[in-house]
Amino acid sequence: MTSSNPVLPPDRLARFHHDVIEWFGGAARDLPWRRDASAWAVMVSEFMLQQTPVSRVLPVYETWIERWPTPTDLAAEPVGEAVRAWGRLGYPRRALRLHAAATAIVERHGGEVPTSFEDLLALPGVGDYTAAAITSFAHGGRAVVMDTNVRRVFARVVSGVEFPATAVTAAERRIATGLLPDEDAHVWAAATMELGALVCTARSPRCAACPVTDLCRWRAAGYPEHDGPARRGQAWEGTDRQCRGRLMAVLRDASAPVLKARLDAVWPDDAQRERALDGLVADGLVEPVGTDAFALPGT
């Protein structure tokens, strides 16, 4: 890294890189998408890991990648099978987008996940973050990978605050770019992400086990409390999301179209259930069959 880095003085920056990467060498979890870091494996894992913890992703990922080891394998099946295999991961529109991305990869790139950042970004469901993750983790490229874990670590160590802003700011992106090492940027990306996931967690950071305790500005400042907008809780009971989840579970478990009466039986509030079902149809996650039945799309 150059001596004129605007984010941290060169000696602190060099220590930050060294200490986090060295820690990662001994602490990195043995995850299947790291063992086989093909572009497709990384892509599938990143779609699944959005807003979902590793422990819930692991079994679904293993089954998925065994059944569909390439984009071509997934694209050859009806989209409803992708929705079914998504199981209880939540936010099942991600399954639709992953299937659409696989189809686009087959149509535009002969079944190979593209390597250029622009081609990745042009795929359905692939934004800056996922394109950067594939570039970094699969291709060993130099990209600014900013997930919630990385953002929290940088907010604490560099900016001295407990949490970053709700959405990525230009200032934050400048900091993350300034921190990116010239070499081993892909290891740095994975290491900072792992530090946020395992040590510098949102609610109870384990500072005693942290490799950068002495560099952390939030800690040095005495852990000032977050003064930004309240962070959103994950309400679930009684929500439309819970209702959608119940309806999807019935359809996933069925091998044939399901009569509406069976869906009516799993949620007592008529208005909420109808709204949820309409939403699932509008999202393309469910298809009406005839006048009184529903199924996963294309199944």
Task: Please report where in the chains the tokens 């930004």 appear, as a residue.
Answer: 228
Q: Which two tokens stand for residue 162?
A: 């407990």
Which entry of 22, 46, 77, 194 is annotated as an active-site residue? 46
**Does residue 191 bind ligand SF4 (CB under 6 A)?**
no
Q: Which two tokens stand for residue 197?
A: 């996931």
Question: Where does this chain touch ligand SF4 (CB under 6 A) — which range of 82-90, 141-149, 150-158, 282-290?
Answer: 150-158
Q: Which two tokens stand for residue 184?
A: 């081993």
Q: Which is nearer to ligand SF4, 223 or 236 (CB)?
A: 223
Asked about 274 being catalytic, the answer comes back as no
**Does residue 164 bind ligand SF4 (CB under 6 A)?**
no
Q: How would DSSP label each residue in 183-250?
A: S-HHHHHHHHHHHHHHTS-SS---GGG-TTGGG-HHHHTT-PPP-SSPPPP---TTSHHHHHHHHHHH
Question: Where does this chain touch ligand SF4 (CB under 6 A) — which range of 3-11, 61-69, 202-210, 244-252?
Answer: 202-210
* Count of chain residues binding ligand SF4 (CB under 6 A): 14
Question: Where does this chain touch ligand SF4 (CB under 6 A) — which range of 61-69, 85-93, 152-160, 171-179?
Answer: 152-160
**Which residues inside 264-283 make contact with ligand SF4, applying CB under 6 A?**
none
Binding test (CB under 6 A) with ligand SF4, winner from 17, 205, 280, 299: 205
Binding test (CB under 6 A) with ligand SF4, winner from 131, 134, 157, 176: 157
* Cβ atoms 134, 92 nearer than 8 A: no
**Does residue 199 bind ligand SF4 (CB under 6 A)?**
yes
**Does residue 150 bind ligand SF4 (CB under 6 A)?**
no
**Which residues inside 215-234 make contact with ligand SF4, applying CB under 6 A?**
216, 218-219
* Cβ atoms 243, 255 nearer than 8 A: no
Q: Which is nearer to ligand SF4, 191 or 280 (CB)?
A: 191
Q: How would DSSP label each residue in 54-67?
A: HHHHHHHHHHHHHH
Residues contacting 2, CB < 8 A, separation 6+: 10
**Does residue 200 bind ligand SF4 (CB under 6 A)?**
yes
Binding test (CB under 6 A) with ligand SF4, winner from 210, 243, 251, 276: 210
**Does residue 156 bind ligand SF4 (CB under 6 A)?**
yes
* Cβ atoms 212, 220 nearer than 8 A: no
- Which contacts of 225-231 are long-range, i.e. CB under 8 A and separated by 24 or more positions? 225/162, 226/161, 226/162, 226/163, 228/163, 228/165, 228/166, 229/166, 231/163
**Does residue 207 bind ligand SF4 (CB under 6 A)?**
yes
| Minimum distance of ligand SF4 from residue 114's CB (angstroms) | 35
| Minimum distance of ligand SF4 from residue 177's CB (angstroms) | 20
Q: How would DSSP label each residue in 70-121?
A: SHHHHHTS-HHHHHHHHTTSS-THHHHHHHHHHHHHHHHHTTSPP-SHHHHH
Applying CB under 6 A, the residues found at the interface with ligand SF4 are 153, 156-157, 199-200, 205-207, 210, 212-213, 216, 218-219
The catalytic site residues sit at 46
